[in-house]
Structure 1
Amino acid sequence: MAHGLSNYLCNAILDAVGNNTSLAVAVPYVKLHVGDPGAAGTALPAIETTRKSISFGVAAAGAIVSDADISWTNIAGSQDATHFTVWDNLTAGNFLFSGQITAGAYTAGDTYTITAGNLSASLTVAS
């Protein structure tokens, strides 16, 4: 299973720290998957391919948490979303990170929502 930060994001963070490069994602976008998206973030995409913008609160204790609902209206297909990926572009761009979704079943035509506070990313903090 390949959940977590992408190779692209790991390298970008290290270059920002070690090589004085900038790292900024203007708008992150989340995409649904029906299984583990793999190291490239492209495996097992959901029938619903629309990426939705996501916003996060300020990082604390090595984690960021979504601070607004993310909704797909009139969703395509009936599936069980089990994973997500986050990207730096609406339709192309770079895969940033992935994770799991719980209770992600939906029916075609439904509105599917990941409520605020229910999508997060974290890094292990030294202790």
Structure 2
Amino acid sequence: MAEGFSTAAANAVLDAQVTAYPWFKLHVGAPGSAGTANPAVETTRKSVAFAAATGATKTSNADAVWSSVAGTEDYTHWSQWSASSGGSFGGSGTVTANPMVTGDSFTFPAGSFVLSVPTAS
């Protein structure tokens, strides 16, 4: 027998995660266990819109845009937060991005944030 969540349970976990932690912050290295390591010069957190989870996957359904970023850097990670500033850390992940120059706009296109949970099969 395989171990893991049922698909229904995984969907519920993902929906709850994004409800509790809707704000995303950029990083230039792994955010670490508290989500505070390697922060980007661009400190703005963006609320990211997601469709309801299905098939143990939750996918963003709108662009997330950081306009006129504050620094020249290469984003490699993101962290997830309960508030637009302060708040609680909820998780992190990696991103593949091109280097940004101060004043550039950075966009995660709809569909590019994908959260998933392993399921029993």
Q: 2:59 aligns with which of 62, 65, 87?
A: 65
* Conserved? CA contact 1:61–1:125, under 8 Å: no
Tell me the distance in 2 between the aligned counterparts of 1:119 and 1:67. Answer: 9
1:118 aligns with 2:112: yes
Alignment of structure 1 residues 62-101 onto 2, 5 Å: 62-101=56-95
Give 3-state SS (helix, strand or coil) of 1:79's partner: coil
TM-score where L is the length of structure 1: 0.78
User: Partner of 1:107 in structure 2?
Assistant: 101
Query: Displacement of 1:103 after TM fit?
Result: 2.2
Structure with the larger RCO, 1 or 2 (CA within 8 Å, 6+ apart): 2
Aligned residues: 107
> Unmatched 5+ residue regions in structure 2?
1-12
Please, what is the CA RMSD of the aligned residues? 1.9
Tell me the distance in 2 between the aligned counterparts of 1:122 and 1:55. Answer: 16
> Unmatched 5+ residue regions in structure 1?
1-12, 14-21
Query: Displacement of 1:26 after TM fit?
Result: 6.1
TM-score where L is the length of structure 2: 0.81
Query: Displacement of 1:82 after TM fit?
Result: 0.2
Tell me the distance in 1 between the aligned counterparts of 2:84 and 2:98. Answer: 22
CA deviation vs aligned residue, 1:53-106 (integer Å, no higher than 9, x gap): 111111011111111001111110110000001111000111111110012421
Tell me the distance in 2 between the aligned counterparts of 1:49 and 1:75. Answer: 9
1:56 aligns with 2:50: yes
* Conserved? CA contact 1:71–1:114, under 8 Å: yes
User: Partner of 2:7 in structure 1?
Assistant: none
State, as a whole percentage, how many aligned pairs show the same letter: 44
Letter in 1 for 2:111: G
Distance 1:23 1:85, change over 3 A: closer
Q: Which runs of 4+ in 1 moved over 2 A?
A: 22-27
